[in-house]
Amino acid sequence: MDIKDNFSHMNDMQRKAVFCTEGPLLILAGAGSGKTTVLVNRIAYILQSGLCQPWQILAITFTNKAAGELKERICDAVVDGDDIWAATFHSTCARILRRYGDRIGYSSHFTVYDSADQKSLVKKILKELNIDEKFLPVKSVLGEISKAKDKMLTPSDMLKTAQFDDRKKKIANVYKLYQAELVNSDAMDFDDMLLNTVRLFKQEADILEYYQNHFKYIMVDEYQDTNKVQYEFVSMLAAKSQNLCVVGDDDQSIYKFRGATIENILSFEKSFKNAKVIRLEQNYRSTKTILDAANGVIKNNTARRGKTLWTENKNGDKITVHTAGSETEEARYIADIVLDGVAEGRNYSDYAVLYRMNAQSNALESAFARAGIPHRILGGHRFYDREEIKDMTAYLRVIDNPHDNIRLNRIINVPKRAIGKTTMEKVGEIAAREDKSEYDIIRNACDYPELSRAAAKFDGFVKLIEGLREAESGGDYTLAELYELILEHTGYREYLRREKENADVRIENIEELMTNIVKFENEYGDEADLSSFLEEISLMTDVDNYDSASDTVIMMTLHSAKGLEFPVVFIAGMEEGVFPGMAVFSNPDEINEERRLAYVGITRAKEKLYITNTRSRMLFGSTTHNAPSRFVEEIPKNLVERTGGFGSAAPVQTGSSFSSGRVSVGNTPSSYNYNPKIAPSFNRSAQKTAVSYSVGENVLHKTFGRGVVLKATKMGGDTMLEIAFEKVGTKTLMANFSKMEKI
């Protein structure tokens, strides 16, 4: 029997890729074309043909999870699969450096610095150089150092490119001291692991030759995501055997912001002589309609290899493009589609909601929670579970109830006030001894000798809280204004910029909380006090925690969705300025990357794709009116059915500066400033006419079935219901969001 007969289950192009073992090979693998299957079977064919030993194969992936899955599948397919080097770039380099790092000045026990270690080191250096962190934020410095290392630039190289850029010169000086400190500490950061391996190969010819002889076959997955130093690493290793096989899809190159260089895949044949290119274009995942839509969008990109996905699958449903009046109506629409689908037999886990920015999850989480739909976020945190949101809601809760010890402990040293854990432990002991709240103790810290040294610090915190409590109870400030006062007087935005990774995203999130507050005030009118708002958001935070195998709707950014697939996909917020984002208006070159992201999103869907946009959207406390995304218009019209579009956008108040105690809640391009006191009433065109429910009443929910009302709490124009359902147990729903009737 011919060995090739073992691979008869594969299609013609897949088999061609499997049997092409010698020389450089680029496998252009379209979405859903079975690239991992090809990689595993190619390794199996090489070993079954006796071309090398398992330990002579190196298979590089980008994540430990992917490496583990690849190795597991290899072990299922071949004997001694454990001997194959299936690993990430970093773990492969670490293995080499642990053995030969002494050649470039490191011991075999070198330390790898994580992001917290890096931040501490840069902070120390900035202090030594008398550089204000407000001028050079730690995150920015580390970002520039990482970019330099991705491009294989030394501190001297960076200094040369700085020329008349004073800021860049300062970063180059920090980089120089940073690198010296790493070497003195026998430490590397993650970028160093790749850079130092390449350096080792360049300096020590015998070590490079050893690994060139060791690895007869090298395979790299997700090649479109490699950067310059990764390209250099695999090029050096493969220089002798020339048996380098890379698998990737230039149409799915979406990580430029992480340093990925799409040119690596676009110029593969120029870099490796006599290279072959095999295209995997048959898709096994999606309907023909979805693939035709993806092809229609991506063909508008310039600088691409070119390929057309096709499938033997059925045509399937048309793509639904739905225009809602607002992001609240958009979220409600998505929730209704999910509930209808589950009522008809689908699982919640069949559905994924994708969006361009994390802040968009806010309205979606609210709608899902109100409708009782189980959901979880991949690649991020639920809006109210994010650290910065928990901090800000903790301030609100302490203002509402200063005797909340848990929330008090969370914020008393955030931002830092030199009130340490040991001191708070003493406060806790005294409070327990005297049967008082911890706030009572710190308010009178001077009465306790063991707290005398911290009394002045406690006094400053108490004055802050009491001032905010007075502002809240006096009636002169709206909730939105109170929230802005907290941000202003705590210096929380500056704290995020100074102390936290992803500060810009975190600041967007705390500004998105302003959106919730403004909407709450608009909806509840005179009933919109702080206690009611905190009760409202408790609905968002008390949703059950679902494990990874639970039947829940998945929510994530488009970047996080790459490599995943779902029967039904929603892409929310397909509007100019949201997706594609604002960056493309100032840098048109970014549009290709954004279009590739749209292509990735579309090809996640297997059976049905929904695309949604709005006539009016509130993000970060500001309202915008955006045109539909150009990517929607690029989908062939015969593939699309349009719904919605009849909701009226909320009127907009403009021109308010909110000086003299007023609060500015939005100042982004193409945005409007919203004054919480004069903002228009909340658009509730999508809501049903309010229905009253009483404890003990029997109800029939379209998705959850029969139930009985256990509790009904009036909240503005809605009612929070606790209902015991026969099929799914007890759920908390908002009456206006529930699809049920009395029986």
The residues annotated with a catalytic role in the active site are 35-36, 221-222, 252, 604
CA proximity to 218, closest of 57, 37, 69: 57
**Cβ-defined contacts of 426-432 (< 8 Å, 24+):** 426/450, 426/451, 427/451, 431/405
Dig out the tokens for 718 from the structure.
């809605």
Q: Pinpoint the alpha helices (H) of 435-544.
A: 438-443, 455-474, 479-490, 492-499, 503-524, 530-541
**Distance, CA of 373 to CA of 549 (rounded, Å):** 16
CA proximity to 114, closest of 187, 198, 180: 187
**Distance, CA of 421 to CA of 725 (rounded, Å):** 45
Strands of 558-649 (E only): list them. 566-571, 605-614, 617-619, 622-624, 640-644
C-alpha to C-alpha distances, 740 to 174, 214, 229, 331, 700, nearest whole angstrom: 62, 67, 58, 19, 5
Backbone φ and ψ of 414, nearest 5°: -130, 110
**Tally of CB atoms within 10 A around 105:** 10
Q: Pinpoint the alpha helices (H) of 151-189.
A: 155-162, 166-184
Dig out the tokens for 283 from the structure.
């898709």
Backbone φ and ψ of 569, nearest 5°: -125, 135
Residue partners of 419: CB distance under 8 A and separation at least 6: 412, 413, 454, 457, 458, 461
Residue partners of 633: CB distance under 8 A and separation at least 6: none
Residue partners of 729: CB distance under 8 A and separation at least 6: none
Q: Under a CB-based contact definition with an 8 Å cutoff, are residues 326 and 617 in contact?
A: yes
Which residues share a beta bridge with 698? 708
CA proximity to 175, closest of 223, 122, 127, 219: 122
